Structure 1
Amino acid sequence: MSDPIHIVCPQCEAVNRVAQERLRDAPVCGKCSQALFSGRPLEADSARFTKHITRNDIPVLVDFWAEWCGPCKMMAPHFAQAAQRLEPAVRLLKVDTERSQDLAAQFAIRSIPTLALFRGGREVARQSGAMDAGRLVAWVQSQLNI
Structure 2
Amino acid sequence: MKTLRSTTVKCVACGRANRIPAAAEGRPKCGNCQSPLPWIVDAGDDDFTEIAEKAAPFVLVDLWAEWCAPCRMVSPALEQVARELAGKVKLVKVDIDKNPRLMRRFGAQAVPTLLLLDKGEVIARRTGAAPAPALRSWVEQSMPAGWPAGEG
Q: How high is the TM-score relative to the length of structure 2?
A: 0.73
Unaligned 5+ segments in structure 2 are 7-20
Aligned residue in 2 for 1:16: 25
Moved over 6 A (4+): none
Q: Please tell me the residue identity of whatever aligns with 2:25.
A: N
Equivalent in the alignment of 1:64: 63
- Hey, what's the Cα distance between the residues in 2 that align with 1:52 and 1:137? 22
Aligned length: 126
- How far is the alpha carbon of 1:27 from its aligned partner? 5.0
> What's the offset of the Cα at 1:41?
2.3
1:103-128 C-alpha deviation (Å, 9 max, x unpaired):
00111100010100100111111000
Letter in 1 for 2:110: S
Sequence identity percentage: 32
RMSD: 2.5
Q: List per-residue Cα deviations over 1:66-112 (Å, max 9, x = no partner).
A: 00001111111111111111111011111000000110011110001
Contact residue 41 and residue 79 of structure 1 kept, 8 A: no
Return the structure number with greater helix share: 1
**1:102 to 1:88, Cα distance in 2 relative to 1, 3 A:** same
